[in-house]
Structure 1
Amino acid sequence: MSSLELLAPAGDLEKLKIAVLYGADAVYLGGRQFSLRAGAANFDDKNMLEGITFAHRHNVKVYVAVNIYAHNPDLETLPAYLQFIARAGADGVIASDPGVIDMILKLQPDLPIHLSTQANTTNWASAAFWKRLGVQRIVLARELSLEEIKEIGSRVDIELEAFVHGAMCMAYSGRCLLSNFMTGRDANRGDCAQSCRWRYHLVEEKRPGQYFPVEEDARGTYFMSSKDLCLLEYLPQLAQAGVTSFKIEGRMKSIHYLATVVKTYRQAIDSYLKNPAGYQALPQWMEEIRKVSHREYTTGFLLGDQGKTATVEPAQSTYTRLAAFVGLVLGYNEETGRIIVEQRNNFKAGESLEVLVPRGDNRTLTVAAIYDGETGEQMEVAPHPQQIVELPVDEPVPPMSMLRRIG
């Protein structure tokens, strides 16, 4: 149990640093190619080297996703990329394509391989097969129940990783052709258009041009749009079933989402490790993760109902949230007694904001005044996006803390 890992997404260098500072034990990221999140900023070679150095300085591991289903041209540049990942000091590589895995085993045999959830490992025999081949960790398919996970863990001595939080895909282990068909963007090569989140109508064959809404409410029905996963309550059961890495989805999510969710799961895992028998998912944890943009939360397939009661939310395609992220704390000006803030959304003098800090209890800050970070001029509101401002405080606020408006 002491080796339980909190694994967080890192869509770019800023997000990597946020994940590390807010409590992740490991992060996963992708380069500019071979990764299944083409829409994320991702990492060029320079940023990947900087990110790995930063993470290792904080005793955090870095896993690099090379999890596309490759076409022939992809294989031409893959060997050089694998060599770079190994030299950069990555702690492992996430892959799903058998040809890619074979190439890793031959060209970089010292690079640990984690089998991506895209490989949809749903039984112990498959896990045993991949172990014999040389894979060190299985990222379990999201379609598994707790009992199925437990059987895999009892039969195969291999590291198990499971998603515990984040967006879910309506397709089997993310293996989807809908985006390809609708837009020509290949979901299995990292360029999903999320066609399942769109609103659809029915057209009867003999009445072309007449569109019949399939409605749950006035907005229409999003009958392929999944709810979001949240397994805070079931961390003990997952650990006892053999899962050692708890994974958060979200390489394309905001830094506010990342900080909030990582910090909450850090608190939950630490609470479980301190007192496994007495673990409870505290109400304040659930309240906290509802502050970020999310769809209705679900336990997915974990409880064995095949997701029938919990996976799809017909009437919801958009996100809801209970807080708005308005500023990132960059530092503290000792001469003026003010925190230095990069504005991320509008806020004004006189407002009461919550301060999300990387460690410890959150605080409340009343914005007594706002000063231009360059001129020192006092303002009622910062007029420019991402403007640097200073706010007077009674005590310093840790760098990378976040200011947010509740409600």
Structure 2
Amino acid sequence: MSEILAPAGSKNSAFAAINAGADAIYLGLDKFSARSAAENFDEKNLVDTIKYAHAFGVKVYVALNTVVKDGEVEDFLSSAVRAWNFGADALILQDIFLGKFLKENRPEIKIHLSTQAGVCNACGARLAKECGFDRVILARETKLSDIAEICKIIETEVFVQGALCTCFSGQCYMSSFAGGNSGNRGKCKQPCRKLYSIDREGFDTPAYRLSLSDLCVGEDIREYIKAGVASFKIEGRMRRPEYVAAAVAYYRSQLDGGNSGLSELKRTYNRGNYTKGLAFGQDKNFISSAVQGHIGEFVGVISVENGRYVCRTNDSFNSGDGFKILRGGKEVGGGAFGGAVKGGFIISTRDRLKNGDKVFITTDAALNSRLLSCERKIPLNVKAEFFAGKPAVAEVNGLRFTGEAPLEAALSRPLSEEDIIRNFKKTDAYPFEVDCSVQTDGVFVAASVLNAFRRKVYADYYERITKNANPVAEESFTLPKFTPCENVKTAVIACNLDGLNADIGILKPRDYLEEVKIGGFGGEKFLYVPPYLTGEE
């Protein structure tokens, strides 16, 4: 299985992903979503989206991936069960032991361990499996060799496209410390995207010192396939539907053996001209220190002519297109399409530009329109029977639907085959593409009755193919009660336990590759293993 998993921060993005060819989407609810600023989904939109996705065989994963406070546990578990009962194919959780409790009490629910749990080696993968998780979403820092080992243990999902967090696997407290908005609670304000100077020679000029470029694995997705990865995840629940559609189309092309190129993807969102990330070793594009946001795709250079700014280019552009201007790699302005001229077009801007400034397109109106106009259709083979003395019958892809009352023979103008076919070609709001054949002996059916029959047939068929197959899970839980007790044990954490006296000793070596000493320590012994250790370490 090679699954393209797309972000759905809104209903429009969900539909864009599905129509572009995604195999699965992931989305958040109004609560417990690590992207609380996204539009997200209330229960009605969740059900509608799940039905639409399942009509095309697309899976829906619901992200309940924030840190959960003690007083929120019951609400969290209730939200998780409701999402499952609405038809979600799996739930994405950050808290591994909360997931363990959920799986032990509701084993029918499929759960995926969020990237924020920091699984990046076989030890973490084994723990996730022991706790009942069906899949792990790996930390973006995971080495390719470790990914291959993890894939032997548990189904694995990796990120292939989108924003990167400066901190290990999203476990960042910078936003929380700076303004009380914790990324682990879905409220990150991205202070890492601000300008900073560093008290170090060569780095004292303000720049985006902590801002990472966007990940784009591109053709190297084939290395993930060889490693055994099951799902390829696109980040971007905060991004626009056209970006989602472009990213899905690009990776669909990669998996299908083609290479559609990066042009469309760059024009919808491109931070830092992309990095391969850390799985393949850090590259020179890893940090986007010069430009923080979307720079688009390079299209030409500025020529100042008769007081006008002309972009010299061989490409054609139109009204509605937007551009960003860079000089020496840094953003100096922006503009819009101001009219075509021979060999280029005029940039309409209030900024003062110079000869040689580079022009990048950041909004391609025609491309965006084309990306969002894609529609998947479900082919329907409709066989209709309209005979006097019998109820109307419509067989849709082998499923048979029957009208309520016998039809009457026509006294004057009978309903023709063409009339019935024309009527069944109307699909209302359903994503159907109809091929219809008719048998009739000449009956009379009022237009309103025929329309009502068609609507009911299509509504019933849609309900059949989108019916929730999940076993219903009980929503209420009995939570364990913890009785406070007196702490009578002493614990130490040290880089060397030799000669120490305590009930519990936690060994935290300075170098995990060196031999450690525990000497005659007589208490319980634990090894501190930081989450970012590679399998080799």
TM-score (norm 2): 0.55
User: In structure 2, what is the equivalent of residue 269 of structure 1?
Assistant: 255
Q: CA shift at 1:80, angstroms?
A: 1.8
Contact 2:276–2:283 (8 Å) recurs in 1: no
Q: CA shift at 1:318, angstroms?
A: 2.2
Cα separation, 1, equivalents of 2:319 and 2:79: 36
User: In structure 2, what is the equivalent of residue 339 of structure 1?
Assistant: none
Relative to structure 1, the CA distance from residue 61 to residue 287 in structure 2 (aligned partners, 3 Å threshold; closer, same or farther) is: same
User: In structure 2, what is the equivalent of residue 81 of structure 1?
Assistant: 79
Cα separation, 1, equivalents of 2:246 and 2:366: 15
Cα separation, 2, equivalents of 1:257 and 1:140: 23
- Give secondary structure in 2 for the equivalent of 1:263: helix
Alignment of 1:4-403 (within 5 A): 4-154=2-152, 156=153, 158-201=154-197, 214-215=204-205, 220-271=206-257, 282=259, 284-296=260-272, 297-303=274-280, 305=281, 307=282, 309-322=284-297, 353-354=366-367, 355-356=370-371, 358=374
Cα separation, 1, equivalents of 2:9 and 2:318: 20
Which deviates more, 145-154 or 234-243? 145-154
- Give secondary structure in 1 for the equivalent of 2:12: helix
Percent identical among aligned pairs is 36
Q: CA shift at 1:312, angstroms?
A: 1.5
One-letter code aligned to 1:112: K
Contact 2:96–2:131 (8 Å) recurs in 1: no
Contact 1:23–1:358 (8 Å) recurs in 2: no
For structure 1, the residue ranges without an aligned partner over 5 or more in a row are 205-211, 272-279, 328-345, 361-398, 401-407
One-letter code aligned to 1:145: K
Relative to structure 1, the CA distance from residue 348 to residue 201 in structure 2 (aligned partners, 3 Å threshold; closer, same or farther) is: closer
**1:247-297 Cα deviation digits (max 9, x unpaired):** 0000000011111111111121122xxxxxxxx6x3x42222111122120
Cα separation, 2, equivalents of 1:137 and 1:359: 30
**1:282-315 Cα deviation digits (max 9, x unpaired):** 3x42222111122120001021x3x364421222
Contact 1:200–1:213 (8 Å) recurs in 2: no
**1:142-196 Cα deviation digits (max 9, x unpaired):** 0012122122224x1x111000000100000000010001111011011100010
Q: CA shift at 1:32, angstroms?
A: 0.6
Q: CA shift at 1:107, angstroms?
A: 3.9
Relative to structure 1, the CA distance from residue 203 to residue 244 in structure 2 (aligned partners, 3 Å threshold; closer, same or farther) is: closer
Relative to structure 1, the CA distance from residue 196 to residue 324 in structure 2 (aligned partners, 3 Å threshold; closer, same or farther) is: farther
One-letter code aligned to 1:77: D
Contact 1:170–1:225 (8 Å) recurs in 2: yes
**1:204-261 Cα deviation digits (max 9, x unpaired):** 9xxxxxxx9832xxxx311100000001111111011010100000000001111111
**1:347-389 Cα deviation digits (max 9, x unpaired):** 99999944335379xxxxxxxxxxxxxxxxxxxxxxxxxxxxx
Q: CA shift at 1:324, angstroms?
A: 9.5
Contact 1:256–1:325 (8 Å) recurs in 2: no
- Higher relative contact order (CA closer than 8 Å, sequence separation 6+): 1
Q: CA shift at 1:112, angstroms?
A: 0.7
Computed over aligned residues only, the root mean square deviation of the Cα atoms, in angstroms, reads 3.0
For structure 2, the residue ranges without an aligned partner over 5 or more in a row are 298-316, 322-335, 346-364, 377-429, 432-537
Larger Rg: 2
Q: Alignment length, in residue pairs?
A: 318
Cα separation, 2, equivalents of 1:7 and 1:100: 24
One-letter code aligned to 1:194: Q
Relative to structure 1, the CA distance from residue 65 to residue 75 in structure 2 (aligned partners, 3 Å threshold; closer, same or farther) is: same
Relative to structure 1, the CA distance from residue 359 to residue 51 in structure 2 (aligned partners, 3 Å threshold; closer, same or farther) is: closer
Q: CA shift at 1:104, angstroms?
A: 1.9
User: In structure 2, what is the equivalent of residue 363 of structure 1?
Assistant: none
- Give secondary structure in 2 for the equivalent of 1:290: helix
One-letter code aligned to 1:247: K
Contact 2:96–2:117 (8 Å) recurs in 1: no
Relative to structure 1, the CA distance from residue 359 to residue 240 in structure 2 (aligned partners, 3 Å threshold; closer, same or farther) is: farther
